[in-house]
Structure 1
Amino acid sequence: MLSPKELADWLGISLQAVYHLNHDSTGPAYYVVGGQRVRYRRSDVEAWLEARRSNRAAA
């Protein structure tokens, strides 16, 4: 499972942006482990990315 920092690095966004995605409920599904630690399943992140993929035709 990925930590918020690992997710930010993988997506190329800031850690603050990851927190905003969580707060706004617009990011990938996450799990709270041990009462405080947020973690992401790679498969959930990949599904979230696929759902956000643009289907625009190349120009």
Structure 2
Amino acid sequence: MSRISFVPGVAGSPFQKTIAQNKAVNAGFKQLSGANFFSLDPELFELVRLRVAANNGCEY
């Protein structure tokens, strides 16, 4: 169970629902996510996301 609640009505992964708490962080993530999505193979991008989550002890 996460310690930070999800924002109601936000679509996406649990991570996206959590970072929606802060509009600036959410906007920055969307910008970064868009940039990486087009520059990396989709499978590699997902592996990077999983690795970052694992390194930070996050459930994904």
TM-score (norm 1): 0.33
- The structure that is helix-richer by fraction is 2
TM-score (norm 2): 0.33
Instruction: Tell which has more relative contact order, 1 or 2 (C-alpha 8 A, sep 6+).
Output: 1
